[in-house]
Structure 1
Amino acid sequence: MTTGDEAATVLASEAAGEMLATAVATAHQTLDSWRLDSVHARPGAETSATYDVTVSGERQYLVASTVSLTDEERAAVKAVRLESDLGVVQVWRHPADPRLPGLPDACVPAALTGRLARVGIADAAVEQLEMLVLRPMRRAVLRANVSSHGLSGRIYIKVLRPDAARQVLERHQACGMAPKAYDAGDGIVVIEGATGQPLTEYLYRPDAPRYLDPAVLVEALDSIGEGAMEMARRRSAADLIDTYADAAIKSGADAARVDAVRASVHAVVEADGAPGALVPTHGDFHAANVFVEAGDETRVAALIDLDTLGPGYRVDDLACMLAHLHTLPTFDESGYRDVPRLIRDATEDFSRRVPAHQLRARAAAVLISLMGGSDDAARRDRWLATAERLVGDSHG
């Protein structure tokens, strides 16, 4: 274990309290209480943790990370550098962030109003600003209700590194079903709320049986233009099966069973070579990222979360959708009672469009990729069992 690894272990341990107390003491303050909120580890890179704390009677939110900062970055966020035999940890106060310069403005309604004015959303009243995702130095996603002359309703604010923000804007321009996105500067991307409702909500506890023609999902993928082919290609779950299998085993899954699925995925993927031509793909095509409008015939109204849009194989998008559909009944069997029928129909439809054995093996890889992020052992086991059935079918 390297010193960096050892420092990372402190972030989620009881020793973090002493570390935080030392950090706030540099400003002549006292740590009254602390609670670990989350830990974010990037394999081969830094580990960061966030904490709810009370400092000299004031509630604060602190970030600690093993990241290496320049003197300029450290000064910009007033980070405290702590060094010991275990390694180096940097501590700073949210919403400052050394790699996300737009985060402070995105987190304050008055400052966000100014950013909205820059992109033509004038006299905006920002209400119910809520943090949905925070990955220190990587990205943040916030949601707000806005009323103005130029836009009314729900908006989403993505805060990214400035170069990554430019790529997100380009991806929105490349997709005909993408909600409108605005460049608010310093890595802040403002995205209008999508029309319709997420497919996950549409399928959940319907008053009457719900049906969706799987062909409309494929048609939605066709709305992604050739501009996507200029983007960086994302590696699929099948490409990263070893990484995801190791994470699943680390989470507590049966190693022998996971390894058997891993081997089957490798066998199918490596035997065939490329499963078709490279085409514009979504890269994270699942039910929560597809918005639909119900009518005489339910149609796809929007695609969201386009950060992964780029060149890839159609089979991987379809496998991602199929795998995520398989997970829905594991959250609520009766609530998603119509989903098994959709799974059957989607499997049949997709299998006519792409190699069926590749579809199943790659869907199994997606299921394995989801296991490492779940803390429900019973649910993980159901996903693993489904992955086993899929790779069994892929060899049939």
Structure 2
Amino acid sequence: MSNTDLALDATVADQLLQRATIDSGAQLRGWKLEHMDVHPGVQATATYLVELTRGSRPVRTRFGITRRAGGPTRSDSLADVYQDGRNTVAIWEYPEDPDLPALAIAANGRELARALIQYGVLPKRADPTQLQVELTSYRPRRRAVFRAWWDEDLWYVKVLRPESLTATRDRHRMLLDAGIPAPEVLVAARSGLLVMPQLPGRPLADAIFDPKPPISAESLIELLDSLPAEVSSLPRRPPWASGVEHFANQIARTMPALENKLNWLTDDILSGLANSPVGNEPTHGDFHEGQIRIARRRVTGLLDIETLGPGSRVDDLACLVAHLACVQNMNDAQHERIAELLRQWVPVFDERVEQVR
């Protein structure tokens, strides 16, 4: 089955959202695509910001849709399931994500406060109404991240699939034991709720626009090279470059005029990597400026370590370079700052990569 067969285009999305809202006793007034993940030939999952009317009351909410080839998964049964020709469609209203049972707790300030009191993060006499919660990212059916603060204390709350909780907690312990500044896990609930304190420093994603380089390329390489050897024994994840055909197809669908250029670029990348070994170095797996906290030109935190595993150092360094090259909504001064960072960092990265070829 082709990627297009499962595409959640505007027409399909509107039909499905109309059906789901009518079945729930509401009337759809409008919607906007928020996020989409596509697994070619297998499934497509998207979230939509939705405006509807329940009774006489206007409501703004979020709906998720998974359209998959073949029959429903076990967790699909926790959503509203429809058949769409050969495909199965599961629809849910946030926060009732069928793969993230702890999402409904994390998204509700009072419920999350009660959980934090239960696990001893908040004092027993804390007022649950005083906990402030903000959603910072949501990958439907995969994970969500929230900021939660009470008085002067700030925590990050992750919602994971329950089956991935133990592996994630163990990765945090692995890095902490090796002296890597990963967040300490304060709560690891069986439902998939993970609570961690904010680490010191500030995000490298903010510091990249400083007048002077916020950290050296050598320090970033040192951070990666200090990952413990045990990381190489973890399950291997495909490198980002392995998805180049998928990403090129996604772009070509929305920008057909670029198809020939994208095909050329894809062929060039794949041929260039054809003889490159997959590597067995410890790698972060999703290394970019949003995953690093710094202070006084030193690394004070390494975040989102679920992707740890064996690979090549070039995978992590190329991921960082690609993210910097795609920063959006910059002014001219910020463009020049990023360009200068890349001029300084890339030659150092290249030298490190050449050492293992």
- Name the SS of the counterpart of 1:165 in structure 2: helix
Instruction: Work out whether 1:33 is the aligned partner of 2:29.
Output: yes
Instruction: Work out whether 1:263 is the aligned partner of 2:259.
Output: no
Aligned to 1:365: none
Aligned to 1:154: 154
Aligned to 1:234: 237
2: distance between equivalents of 1:282 and 1:343?
Answer: 20
Instruction: Work out whether 1:191 is the aligned partner of 2:196.
Output: yes
Instruction: Work out whether 1:245 is the aligned partner of 2:244.
Output: no
- Name the SS of the counterpart of 1:338 in structure 2: helix
Aligned to 2:169: 169
Corresponding letter in the other structure for 1:219: E
Aligned to 1:55: 54
Aligned to 1:280: 282
Instruction: Work out whether 1:217 is the aligned partner of 2:220.
Output: yes
1: distance between equivalents of 2:243 and 2:7?
Answer: 27
1: distance between equivalents of 2:31 and 2:207?
Answer: 37
Aligned to 2:323: 324
2: distance between equivalents of 1:141 and 1:198?
Answer: 16
- CA-to-aligned-CA distance 1:170-220 (integer Å, 9 cap, x gap): 22222212112231330111122222111121122x3x4335321010111
**C-alpha contact 2:7 2:44 (8 A) present in aligned 1:** no
Report the Cα offset of residue 127 of structure 1: 3.1
2: distance between equivalents of 1:302 and 1:346?
Answer: 20
Name the % identity: 26
- Name the SS of the counterpart of 2:306 in structure 1: coil
- CA-to-aligned-CA distance 1:14-71 (integer Å, 9 cap, x gap): 43453134311xxxx3426342443534321243443423321342544344365578
Instruction: Work out whether 1:143 is the aligned partner of 2:147.
Output: yes
2: distance between equivalents of 1:137 and 1:316?
Answer: 26
Aligned to 2:67: 66
Report the Cα offset of residue 82 of structure 1: 3.9
2: distance between equivalents of 1:250 and 1:197?
Answer: 38
- Name the SS of the counterpart of 1:35 in structure 2: strand
**C-alpha contact 1:128 1:144 (8 A) present in aligned 2:** yes
Corresponding letter in the other structure for 1:33: R
Report the Cα offset of residue 10 of structure 1: 6.9
- Name the SS of the counterpart of 1:337 in structure 2: helix
- Name the SS of the counterpart of 2:157 in structure 1: strand
C-alpha distance 33-310 of structure 1, shift in aligned 2 (>3 A): same
Corresponding letter in the other structure for 2:38: R
C-alpha distance 202-113 of structure 1, shift in aligned 2 (>3 A): same
C-alpha distance 98-193 of structure 1, shift in aligned 2 (>3 A): same
1: distance between equivalents of 2:92 and 2:240?
Answer: 34
Question: What is the TM-score normalised by the length of structure 1?
Answer: 0.75
Query: Among 43, 51, 55, which residue is 1:45 paired with?
Result: 43
Aligned to 2:98: 98
**C-alpha contact 1:7 1:86 (8 A) present in aligned 2:** no
- Name the SS of the counterpart of 1:178 in structure 2: coil
**C-alpha contact 1:12 1:39 (8 A) present in aligned 2:** no
C-alpha distance 266-70 of structure 1, shift in aligned 2 (>3 A): closer
C-alpha distance 330-214 of structure 1, shift in aligned 2 (>3 A): farther
Report the Cα offset of residue 87 of structure 1: 5.3
- Name the SS of the counterpart of 1:247 in structure 2: helix
C-alpha distance 93-267 of structure 1, shift in aligned 2 (>3 A): closer
Report the Cα offset of residue 84 of structure 1: 6.0
Report the Cα offset of residue 112 of structure 1: 0.9
The count of corresponding residues between Structure 1 and Structure 2 is: 339
C-alpha distance 231-32 of structure 1, shift in aligned 2 (>3 A): same
2: distance between equivalents of 1:84 and 1:63?
Answer: 16
**C-alpha contact 2:113 2:131 (8 A) present in aligned 1:** no
Aligned to 2:207: 202
Question: What is the TM-score normalised by the length of structure 2?
Answer: 0.82
Unaligned runs of 5+ in 1: 359-396
